[in-house]
């Protein structure tokens, strides 16, 4: 059964560009795991909310686990550590 995730990302202050670079890199791997990026938006205002929000659809739990364990994604961890202050992932469904 497919699953849909809402991914909210808060940037390390001043490193929004690095967050975008990191996400460009790791989101490009989704297709290799049968997943699709349905929506990707960024906040137009600075504040307490997330800098970027993504809606991602994956075919199943195994695809999510494979994506999270992808060696190319893991190799980008240093960039993530410098750019992402917080991540919140929520499983969602269309209404």
29/23 Cα distance (integer angstroms): 10
SS3 state of residue 94: coil
Q: Averaged over 51-61, what is the pLDDT?
A: 98
Q: Averaged over 75-84, what is the pLDDT?
A: 98
| Tens of pLDDT, residues 17-55 | 999 999 999 999 999 999 999 999 999 988 899 999 999
Mean pLDDT of the chain: 97
Pairing of strands 36-42, 3-11: unpaired
What's the CATH number for 3-92?
3.30.70.100
pLDDT of residue 47: 83
């Amino acid at each position: 059964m497919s699953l849909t995730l809402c991914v909210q990302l808060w940037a390390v202050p001043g490193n929004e560009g690095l967050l975008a670079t990191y996400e460009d890199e790791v989101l490009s791997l989704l297709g290799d795991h049968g997943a699709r990026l349905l929506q990707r938006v960024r906040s137009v205002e600075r504040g307490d909310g997330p800098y970027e929000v993504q809606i991602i659809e994956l075919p199943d739990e195994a695809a999510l686990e494979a994506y999270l364990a992808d060696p190319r994604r893991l190799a980008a961890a240093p960039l993530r550590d410098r750019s992402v202050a917080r991540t919140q992932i929520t499983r969602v469904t269309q209404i």
